[in-house]
Amino acid sequence: MRVRIAPSPTGYLHIGTARTALYNWLLARKHKGTFVLRIEDTDVERSSQEMVDVILESLKWLGLDWDEGPYFQSRRVEIYRRYAERLLKEGKAYCCYCTPEELKERREQAIREGRAWKYDRKCLYLSEEEKRKLEKEGRPRAIRFLVPPGKTEFNDLVHGKIEKNHEDIEDFVILKSDGMPTYNFAVVVDDHEMGITHVIRGDDHISNTPKQILIYRALGWEPPLFGHLPLILGEDRSKLSKRHGAVAVLQYKEDGFLPDALVNYLALLGWSPGDNREILSREELIELFSIERVSDRNAIFDRRKLLWMNGEYIKMKSEDELFNGVWEFLKKEELVKDEEKEEKRDYILGFIKLMKERCKTLKDFATLGYYFFRDDFELDPEGIRKHFYPGLKERMEKLLERFEKTEPFTVENIEQALRGLAEELGIKAKELIHPVRLICSGMTFGPGLFELLAHLGKERVIRRIKKRLPELP
Ligand code: GLU
């Protein structure tokens, strides 16, 4: 089995292309085949090296390693020209000298007269003399494929039998007047030359497949098998686009998603293992994946579910596995500096352990965990209203005294100190717990208070309580 992903570098790697890449990769890994990467950059004006780099980085980040390539179509133009010439010589293609303006005029006329338009084969019927004249004028010429009569049928691996009457296919251009191949032509030449056995791609290419099969046949080649994946829609059921939120793979990296979670989520977007399991490792996906179980119905991209899944992956990972990812986000928020990486390692591992149940993304560690690193946070005003009460200052002074004497500053000792004081004062422990949490973290929620204080450490806790004493009622 040889499969491929063939992105055009005219934009970032879209989540839909990532899913197509993933399904091809899973098939290659499952069947011990080869996963080929080909960059379809014949649209020179819209392609750029920057986008190529982004595509490679996106695939690497997702862990979809390729076995061959990247091949670049822009470096293979001579090959396409050779095959186009061959079709020309064999009378399976012909030169077209019509200018875009002429075509537009004839198309508009057809529409005015209520006729369906497809290329009218004007140039197929030119006499040798007319052709010579146009050539002498230096008229640019494209090469069109001569669509034979009949119909084309193929058995789509996802949708089943698909057929197309050739009357509905115009003599399409295979080589443009600037000498560049069109998508439909280059893709056939490449898929053949690269020995691709299964073409798995998006549904948006279904209408191209009959044209491609015609080219295979004209060149005397056996077409590969085709499978078209249903589209990915937004929650409003229109095609997934920027309007629905992030669609570029690297945006998910920026937003703190784990590649394993995104891969797992994308795998289920149009495929299921046949039971209710949702959390599946890469190894399980490779083992279970099959094209037969790909749904032929469009899939809906559910951001909440992806977020949930990412949270599940964060919970499943060890602190060590999360360390580098979390570190990057802490750094981006300027909560840590590279030179402190080793010195703060244990503190951060403990922080991850305390926080990972509540973080849905790596970014959450930096936003929800700000107070683990900095004193300059505000207290949640809602929390102040709820948990500060007259006489609190006096109680906090007493608690401070106890904390100063608490040695070592461990979870058990902190709990004992706080509960002991509450008992002596004849109040409920939570009358101290809530305000201390607010003073030490600015928030009304978070990890268990005693674990939190122990982790923040005696010095920080004392400093924070002292700082707030003057403002307490
Ligand atoms: N360059 C095409 C795309 O990005 C590839 C389609 C195909 O896989 O044949 O849509």
Chain-wide mean pLDDT for the chain? 97
175 vs 183, 193, 358, 407, CA distance in Å?
Answer: 9, 18, 56, 81
- 32 φ/ψ sector (left φ>0, alpha ψ -120 to 50, else beta): left
CA 235 – ligand 1 centroid, Å = 25
pLDDT, tens only, 209-248: 999 999 999 999 999 999 999 999 999 999 999 999 889 9
pLDDT, tens only, 51-97: 999 999 999 999 999 999 999 999 999 999 999 999 999 999 999 99
CA-nearest residue, atom 3 of ligand 1: 7
CA 70 – ligand 1 centroid, Å = 14
pLDDT, tens only, 301-355: 999 999 999 999 999 999 999 999 999 999 999 999 999 999 999 999 999 999 9
Largest CA distance in the chain: 112
Q: Is-catalytic flag, 467? A: no
Which atom of ligand 1 approaches the CA of 208 most closely? 9
Could you tell me if the CB of 7 is within 6 A of ligand 1?
A: yes
CA 233 – ligand 1 centroid, Å = 18
Closest CA to 38 of 81, 70, 14, 77: 70
Set 60, 104, 242, 466: catalytic member = 242
pLDDT, tens only, 350-400: 999 999 999 999 999 999 999 999 999 999 999 999 999 999 999 999 999
119 vs 54, 122, 367, CA distance in Å?
Answer: 38, 8, 59
According to the model, what pLDDT value does residue 44 have? 87
Q: Read off φ and ψ for residue 172, nearest 5 degrees.
A: -80, 155
Helices (runs of H) and strands (runs of E) counted in the chain: 20, 12
Could you tell me if the CB of 228 is within 6 A of ligand 1?
A: no
CA 120 – ligand 1 centroid, Å = 28
Closest CA to 4 of 188, 182, 153, 154: 188
Please tell me the pTM assigned to this model: 0.94
Percentage of the residues of the chain whose pLDDT score is greater than 70:
100
Could you tell me if the CB of 205 is within 6 A of ligand 1?
A: yes
Which atom of ligand 1 approaches the CA of 4 most closely? 8
pLDDT, tens only, 98-157: 999 999 999 999 999 999 999 999 999 999 999 999 999 999 999 999 999 999 999 999
Could you tell me if the CB of 8 is within 6 A of ligand 1?
A: yes
Could you tell me if the CB of 6 is within 6 A of ligand 1?
A: yes
Could you tell me if the CB of 201 is within 6 A of ligand 1?
A: yes
The SS3 call for residue 232 is strand
CA 361 – ligand 1 centroid, Å = 31
